[in-house]
Structure 1
Amino acid sequence: MLSRTSSLLLRDSRPSAATGVAAGAFAVVVTTALIFPLREIVPAVSTGVIYLLAVLLVATWFGLWVGLGTAVASALAFNWFHIPPTGRFTVSDPQNWVALAVFLVAAAIASTLAEVARARTREAVLRRREADLAAELARLLLGGSDVRAALPAAAERLTRALDLAPGATIELEGAAAAASSGEFSSLSDQNSPLLPLHAADGSPLGALRLAEPPPADADERLRERVVPSLETLLGVALDREALQHEVVESQALRRGDDLKTALLRAVSHDLRSPLTAIATAGEALSSPSLTDAERDELAAAVTGEAQRLSRLVDKLLDLSRLQGGAAAPRPDWVSVEEVLRVAIDETPHAAGFNVGIDRDLPLVRADAAQLERAFANLLENAARYGGDHPVAVRARAVGHRLLIRIVDRGPGIHGRELERVFEPFYRAPDVRGDGHVGSGLGLAVVRGFVEANGGRVWAESLPGQGTTFVVELPLGDAPAERGAPALEPTGAGR
């Protein structure tokens, strides 16, 4: 309660001088009237301290000069009404002169102290506002990744905190040279003044452009307290932004180097293996001692290795387009059922595919060619690890999603590998023991094409119990027409 009263009495703003004079006169009249009954109890000279209380309250509320005026008026009223002889401005007893002089000095000191307290309160309020402003500017300039995008909000917050005319802006680059050239030496000299902002090393950062010249006291606060904080925060924010850009560029270069290294590794091994097999088979085909069966076998090997090489090149090209952002989909309403049919027809698997697709499956809006490439890679992966077991393909609509599941009965994937198998050039361990660990491209292409079409893909597996790859595609307001009739389960040789 006491602190609230002190804050009210020493508030930053004060009433008008006319109100203060009226309040002082009223305080003198009331105090003079209160002293009359007290004279029956205590000597008249001792009642002067009551005037001192009125002077202190008036000086605290209305300022030094109103307080001094109230002190003089109180002394005159005290002399006229209560110090003998009353009714005249004379003092008969020398002791009363001393009491009156002490009263005037005490009143003046009380008024001065009240004004000092008010000034300190005003300064404390200003300092608190400036501290709040600095904290808000730090949040705006350091809280985001784009400093320039935060400048309008920072300028608006600064304008409100300092009671400046609306329209102030914080400008970088071009304004820095103009503001630091010495052209604007005083804010009050310009219709649209600029205040230069400098970094810690003295180099120009920019300028604070005001809509109109501020008052003299605001000009001083801007130059001495606000601008240094703004310069420090702006310099830190720009340095941090530059460091972030350098980190991003370094990470991009590092990823590029990793990609180049992995690509060279793939070229040196995965491309060389089919080329070597083709070259060897081609040389053997020229031998006159070959039987027709051996010649057919070598020709089949050449064809198979060429197809393997073609698929690897296709994956490399797909991944390159995805990495370079050149694989933008061309969406249209497509039947996932038909896309799966094409992918199955293009994927050889001795044990075949067991297909179960819900009838009247909704259409999805996607790039059919990209989905076909993604499903073909998933089917090829499942066929490789499924061994002698057929690969199950399931598709159904669930709410606003279309779920496609491709299930193999292979050795499965360890939990720590479930996410990594989608990384480019990541090769899972040789769990089958046949020496083939894949190129590390197919599943990365799958994720790229599925996510490009607004979907997502993930793997579910337990070691020794096979793997399920799930593709989720969003459903929209598709046309009324449906895809082809659902595929019936197929057996080996599909």
Structure 2
Amino acid sequence: MLERNAFSKMGVSGFAMQIEQETALGAYAPLMLEHVPAGIALFDAHELRLLAANSRYQDLLEPQWQHGHALGRRLIEFLPRAAYTEIAALFQKVLETGVSSRLEGYATPACMNGTRYWDYSLEPIAEQGQVRYVLLTVTEIIMQLQAQKIAKQAKTALAQAQQELELEQQRHEHEETILLSVRSIVEPQAFAQALLRAIDTCFSPHLLALYSTRSEQGKLSLLAFHTPENWLQATPVLPALLVGTSGGSLLQAMQQRTPLIKRTSQERETGQKESREKDTLLALPEIACVVYLPLWRAQGAQCEGVLVAGFATEEELDALVVPTLSACVPHLTEALAETWMHAALADERQRLRTVLDQLPEGVILVEAQSGKVSYANPAAAGLLGYALPHLVGAPLNQSAMMSPYRFPPAHQQSAFRWNFALIHALWGKIIVNEEIVVSRPDGSEIVVLSSAAPIRTSHGLITEAVMVFHDITAKKQLEQQKNEFFVVANHELRTPLTAILGYAELLQLQFPEGADAMQRSAINRIAEECEHLIHLIHELLDVSRLEHARLELKKQYLDLLAPLSQVVITQAQTTSMHRLHLTLEELEPVDSLMGWFDLLRIEQVIRNLLSNAMKYSPSGSEIEVGVRPRRDAQGREQEVMIWVKDQGMGINALDMPHIFECFYRAATFDRTSISGFGIGLYLTRQLVQAHGGRIWAESTRGQGSTFYIVLPLGKIP
């Protein structure tokens, strides 16, 4: 309570004069009171009559009471009734108790210059122990209220942000749980089961199902489902219902490509009415809503299926469940597609393994990183003499595989172990038809024909090596017997044939003129057949030498044209059944074709081709031998092409790929009327290739054949 020493009936100016007498600042007191932000007014305690007030207070009043018109008036006169009751009660309280009082956040009526908010403070002023005056201070608190409102809004926003942050954290945790659950699974069924279990852990739905589009019919089919055991027992029709569901909401979700939510309430999120019976899963007990999430791949060209989740309540459905599952869908879709790809690869691998397991040839795969056998078929284990479980997983350098090695016999070309072929392949080398002697653990040996090659990724990295091989021991033994026969035939047949031919030639010389024609013809026939047999023996020996790489060429740098022409002339003179002629293209008879040749072998090639042409051509037909050089851009002769063209029966298209094989004779020919063993063309090709040349044939059945030879020319052998 304040003693009266300030405001009086003289008002603010009188109060200021009193301050002026007590302080040097008194001259500024009225100015100070007028510029304080609060409204100040002095009332007498008896009638609540306004004795003094600064402008700030008067501005709070209605317009007709401003500018001093309220001075001397009672509070009830100038204060609106809507405000008077509460303010007067506050004055009464101060007068009765003699204690100051406050009214915070009071809103003035709209009639008082609009609704505004104030803090009212009443301080009693006493004289001689009695309250004579009441000092009213009014402070506008709109800024404070605005600040409080902003603070409240900020607090609310902060709480919402905190709630959203916690919700986002929950979503991330659930996403991580779901995605980690399927990260390393490559089998579709296991993927689906793990996914549904993870979703159940996060959200505890009543029903989970995953439908796939990868069925054989190309329709949606149930891949897996998950539900609480007690609910499954209470809903025995659920499995059949899920299996039978393939359209309706599933197709609708696929078509709209976004999550589809079906609720028991008749309102969808779009606001459209929908009956509960339209969704079969909503008809199940305790299901309040069902979420359908289509699993479209990123490119949008393939839908892998639909994820279905049924819940007993819609709580957190829109805020947590749907956003979380929607965020997982792109990753789950790609992961599910990869499981199908792995499954397809596994099926293909199993089919391939089944095929390889049935092959009579041995097949071995070795990993590049570990050097261990990753696969071997039963044939490989049998050929190598190992039990299949001991072979698979064994490293190539295992001691059991490095058994004491015996060099192969002289007739075999290879001299390294079978595992060396795979080691070479791991280093990038390709081995084709290599003969290898396999020393087996039981001490036996077999000869195998093997091919090995590296297996590379699309970037060229070697990941594995494969070897395919089969047993040729019986074939090699047969070849050995054949070679021994050739040696015996050469020795046992050539000696008597030489003697017979010698005596036949001697008899030809001793026949007088006019001798018996029949006897002379017989002697000539004996000589011709002896020469034919001796030629055949030479060819057989050449075949044997070729097969064992013992056929040596005696090349010399010489002209090919002159001796080739002489062979044609000689052959033309010795046959009366066919007409032979030589065709020179871009050449003159005096020209030369210089190169490195074994002249005897080249002559043998030409004679073989001419003999073959005469053998399969009708009597009286023409046989052409042609020669044409091939030149480079500068006109230098690089190669020579030789061809032998006949007008014979031609070669069947089925026989064409095999005519240069040893001992091959076309099945379309009458073998009884045409002699031969099928070794002439084989020798011809081998001799041409030994000179670095090429040979091929062109033929049409019934229109003759043309054999082409291309040989290199030049000083470099």
TM-score, normalised relative to structure 1: 0.45
- Which protein shows a greater Rg? 2
The structure in which a higher percent of residues are helix is 1
Greater strand share, 1 or 2?
2
